[in-house]
């Protein structure tokens, strides 16, 4: 690299990146679609099903371009970014369709390009547009977005915030070990690597405990502590916030100074590159959330998810954050918040799930002033693993869902073998979403957690048509999501 290049600031590099994107987009129109959500929200399944439905002529009545027969050819193409892992579509779809198991958890960023040849609906556009759109789908962990606010926080602020949060609700108990250790070490004494490691490990254990299945609190930054990938064990990941920092500056060579330096390294080497190379280049974004799981865990999980979502959404509207806005040369103009796994509910409850999800993001949306055409909220199932039925129970007709529970799942003491189907009455979601968000502190006895029964189902059996061709993956409202996310670019 010639020496003058190194003088480029981050801003200039980013501007160059997006310019290059734009130039190539003129030749071949592209849309970068970010797919995110906290771990296990359903990102991999969403992308796999979306692509499968596009490639295999899925039932997509609300997706206008396909419904009206204007799309002539859809294919996967090599992605333009050579250094980013490819989204392993074929492996995931084999698991889903052939083996009827859910794809493995994915812990890093990946990308896939799908290209559509279409005929514009308007004669005018037909004249000027090449009638080809490439969609670069980028799958990345929502936890990484929670890191973006760190860019504007110094070590002292980050430490104080983390410590404050650690002392609320369920977190109090989970953070006890870490907090005790953090206040007992002498942070002004010369740094010892072993101390740094122990502190970082105890801090990570606390973050992991919050995230565990029984509690399902949303993640706090730093996001990579739970998903280190190839950074595992590196100094940039071996630090811990320090509660109760004394005034003044860290003494040279102290543990405090070491932690502070590593925190800054985390921002420089982990957070900024993600922001610059991936996030800042997105055009559209879908955020998947497992609202059902949070509802099922009770108000604290729900409130916690609300907070995490507010942080996630704030990164899409960086007006309030000068660092972020200084980086942006283009803006994400459409964001879809989708509650996933709606196939766990009878369709009568889908609208209720949607309303609860709206309620979940309402405050954040108001605060950051994001609304109108740029934002939508839906309840979807990328893969519909159940079908609906009704049963008579004590003279009542109950709406139920029928599916094959995964081997080992239990309901009322009955354990399933992964082959047998069963009908389940999931329970009712409340009509009024507010009842789920009751202030626990003021009325602990009124906690209105609905009595819901959830089991994990196997992916559905997919019929073969003649000639061994599999039909596409069944879904709920996936076409509505497609229409919102890129329908206008095929108009
Ligand atoms: N019934 C049903 N289950 C789903 C659906 N989507 C996801 N799931 C379940 O949720 C789990 C997680 O889905 P993934 O797509 O792997 O989630 P992810 O966000 O990619 O998770 P990580 O890669 O771990 O971050 C799956 O293993 C399924 O059990 C859906 O549409 N219907
Ligand atoms: Mg995944």
Q: What is the DSSP string of 167-218?
A: TSTTHHHHTHHHHHHHHHS-TTSBP-HHHHHHHHHHHHHHHHHHHSTTT-PP
pLDDT band at 402 (very low <50, low <70, confident <90, very high): very high
DSSP string, 289-303: E-HHHHHHH-HHHHH
Whole-number pLDDT of residue 108: 86
Q: Which residues contact 193 (CB under 8 A, 6 or more apart)?
A: none
Query: What span, in angstroms and rounded, lies between the C-alpha atoms of 427 and 453?
Result: 7
> Ligand 1 centroid to 100 CA: how many Å?
13
Query: What span, in angstroms and rounded, lies between the C-alpha atoms of 305 and 311?
Result: 10
Average of per-residue pLDDT across 215-244: 85
> Ligand 2 centroid to 370 CA: how many Å?
27
> Ligand 2 centroid to 96 CA: how many Å?
13
- Give percent of the chain with pLDDT exceeding 70: 85
Residue whose CB lies within 8 A of the most ligand 1 atoms, among 35, 52, 100, 102, for a mutation test: 102
3-state secondary structure of 31: strand
Whole-number pLDDT of residue 3: 37
Q: Which of 18-32, 133-147, 178-192 has the lowest mean pLDDT?
A: 18-32
Q: 69-126 pLDDT, tens per residue?
A: 999 999 999 988 888 999 999 999 999 999 999 999 988 899 999 999 998 877 776 6
Q: 254-280 pLDDT, tens per residue?
A: 999 999 999 999 999 999 999 888 988
User: Does the pLDDT at position 24 exceed 80?
Assistant: no
44 to each of 17, 73, 329, 382, 470, how far by Cα in Å?
Answer: 27, 24, 29, 10, 20
Q: Which residue has the higher pLDDT, 271 or 442?
A: 271
pLDDT band at 176 (very low <50, low <70, confident <90, very high): very high
284-289 and 30-37 strand pairing: parallel
Whole-number pLDDT of residue 302: 86
Q: Which secondary-structure segment (H or E) carries 432?
A: none
Whether residue 317 contacts residue 371, with contact meaning beta carbons closer than 8 Å, is answered with: no
> Ligand 1 centroid to 41 CA: how many Å?
6
> Ligand 1 centroid to 273 CA: how many Å?
27
DSSP string, 225-271: GT--GGGTT-GGGS----SSPPSSPPPTTBHHHHHHHHHHHHIIIII
> Ligand 1 centroid to 42 CA: how many Å?
3
Please provide the average confidence, as pLDDT, over all residues in the chain: 86
For 420, other C-beta atoms within 10 Å of its C-beta total 10
Whole-number pLDDT of residue 120: 84
Query: What span, in angstroms and rounded, lies between the C-alpha atoms of 280 and 296?
Result: 34
Return the ligand 1 atom nearest residue 107 CA. 23
pLDDT band at 220 (very low <50, low <70, confident <90, very high): confident
Return the ligand 1 atom nearest residue 141 CA. 25
Beta bridge partners of 424: 401
Quick one: which ligand is closest to 385's CA?
1
What b/e string do you get for 14-35 counting C-beta neighbours within 10 Å, with b at 16 or more?
A: bbeebeebeeeeeeebbbbbbb
Whether residue 356 contacts residue 433, with contact meaning beta carbons closer than 8 Å, is answered with: yes
Distance of CA 1 to the CA centre of its chain: 36
User: Does the pLDDT at position 129 exceed 70?
Assistant: no
Ligand 1 contacts CB of residue 45 (under 6 A): yes
Return the ligand 1 atom nearest residue 40 CA. 21
Average of per-residue pLDDT across 210-239: 82
Ligand 1 contacts CB of residue 106 (under 6 A): yes
What residue owns the CA closest to ligand 1's atom 8? 42
What b/e string do you get for 140-160 counting C-beta neighbours within 10 Å, with b at 16 or more?
A: bbbbbbbbbbbbebebeebbb
Query: What span, in angstroms and rounded, lies between the C-alpha atoms of 411 and 336?
Result: 34
Query: What span, in angstroms and rounded, lies between the C-alpha atoms of 33 and 450?
Result: 35
3-state secondary structure of 155: helix
Q: Which residue has the higher pLDDT, 470 or 66?
A: 66
Quick one: which ligand is closest to 45's CA?
1
Average of per-residue pLDDT across 188-201: 94
Query: What span, in angstroms and rounded, lies between the C-alpha atoms of 259 and 389?
Result: 57
Residue whose CB lies within 8 A of the most ligand 1 atoms, among 44, 143, 296, for a mutation test: 44
> Ligand 1 centroid to 283 CA: how many Å?
24
Using CA atoms of 234, 240, 246, 248 in order, give the dihedral in degrees to the nearest 10.
30
What residue owns the CA closest to ligand 1's atom 32? 341
What residue owns the CA closest to ligand 1's atom 26? 102
Residue whose CB lies within 8 A of the most ligand 1 atoms, among 37, 45, 353, for a mutation test: 45
Closest CA to 406 of 343, 460, 451, 474: 460
Return the ligand 1 atom nearest residue 37 CA. 19
Query: What span, in angstroms and rounded, lies between the C-alpha atoms of 438 and 446?
Result: 8
Ligand 1 contacts CB of residue 41 (under 6 A): yes
> Ligand 1 centroid to 427 CA: how many Å?
21
Q: 33-44 pLDDT, tens per residue?
A: 999 998 889 999
Q: 317-336 pLDDT, tens per residue?
A: 755 555 556 655 567 889 99
Ligand 1 contacts CB of residue 405 (under 6 A): no
367 to each of 113, 161, 311, 435, how far by Cα in Å?
Answer: 34, 20, 11, 22
3-state secondary structure of 336: strand
Ligand 1 contacts CB of residue 102 (under 6 A): yes
Query: What span, in angstroms and rounded, lies between the C-alpha atoms of 351 and 343?
Result: 12
Whether residue 470 contacts residue 477, with contact meaning beta carbons closer than 8 Å, is answered with: no
Phi, psi of 135 (to 5 degrees): -110, 120
Q: Which residue has the higher pLDDT, 363 or 339?
A: 339
Q: Which secondary-structure segment (H or E) carries 14?
A: helix 10-27
Whole-number pLDDT of residue 4: 39
Ligand 1 contacts CB of residue 43 (under 6 A): yes
């Amino acid at each position: 690299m010639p020496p003058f290049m190194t003088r480029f600031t981050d801003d200039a590099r980013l501007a160059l990146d997006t310019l290059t994107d734009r130039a190539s987009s003129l030749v071949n129109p592209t849309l970068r679609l970010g797919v995110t959500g906290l771990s296990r929200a359903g990102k991999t399944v969403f992308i796999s099903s979306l692509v499968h439905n596009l490639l295999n002529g899925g039932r997509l009545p609300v997706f206008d371009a396909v419904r009206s027969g204007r799309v002539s050819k859809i294919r996967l193409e090599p992605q333009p970014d050579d250094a980013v892992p490819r989204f392993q579509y074929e492996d995931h779809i084999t698991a889903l369709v052939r083996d009827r198991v859910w794809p493995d958890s994915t812990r890093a960023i990946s990308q896939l390009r799908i290209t559509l040849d279409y005929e514009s609906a308007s004669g005018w556009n037909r004249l000027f547009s090449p009638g080809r759109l490439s969609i670069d789908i980028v799958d990345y962990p929502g936890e990484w977005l929670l890191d973006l606010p760190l860019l504007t926080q110094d070590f002292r602020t980050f430490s104080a915030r983390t410590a404050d949060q650690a002392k609320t609700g369920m977190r109090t108990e989970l953070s006890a070990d870490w907090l005790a250790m953090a206040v007992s070490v002498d942070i002004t004494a010369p740094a010892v690597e072993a101390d740094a490691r122990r502190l970082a490990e105890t801090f990570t254990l606390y973050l992991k405990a919050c995230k565990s299945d029984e509690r399902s609190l949303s993640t706090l930054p730093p996001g990579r502590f739970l998903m280190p990938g190839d950074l595992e064990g590196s100094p940039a990941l071996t630090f811990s916030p320090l509660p109760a920092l004394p005034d003044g500056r860290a003494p040279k060579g102290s543990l405090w100074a070491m932690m502070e330096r590593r925190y800054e390294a985390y921002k420089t080497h982990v957070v900024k590159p993600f922001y610059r190379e991936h996030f800042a280049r997105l055009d559209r974004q879908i955020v998947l959330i497992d609202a059902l799981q949070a509802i099922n865990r009770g108000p604290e999980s729900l409130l916690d998810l609300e907070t995490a979502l507010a942080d996630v959404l704030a990164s899409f509207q960086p007006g309030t954050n000068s660092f972020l806005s200084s980086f942006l040369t283009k803006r994400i103009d459409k964001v879809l918040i989708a509650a996933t796994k709606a196939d766990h509910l009878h369709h009568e409850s889908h609208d209720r799930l949607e309303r609860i999800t709206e309620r979940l993001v309402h405050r954040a949306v108001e605060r950051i002033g994001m609304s109108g055409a740029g934002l939508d909220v839906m309840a979807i199932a990328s893969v519909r693993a159940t079908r609906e039925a009704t049963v008579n129970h004590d003279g009542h007709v109950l709406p139920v869902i029928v599916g094959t529970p995964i081997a080992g799942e239990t309901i009322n003491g009955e354990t399933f073998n992964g082959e047998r189907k069963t009908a389940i009455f999931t329970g009712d979601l409340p009509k009024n979403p507010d009842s789920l968000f009751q202030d626990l502190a003021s009325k602990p006895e009124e906690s209105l957690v609905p009595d819901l029964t959830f089991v994990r189902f196997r992916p559905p059996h997919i019929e073969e048509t003649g000639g061994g061709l599999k039909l596409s993956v069944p879904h709920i409202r996936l076409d509505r999501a497609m229409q919102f996310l890129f329908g206008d670019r095929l108009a």
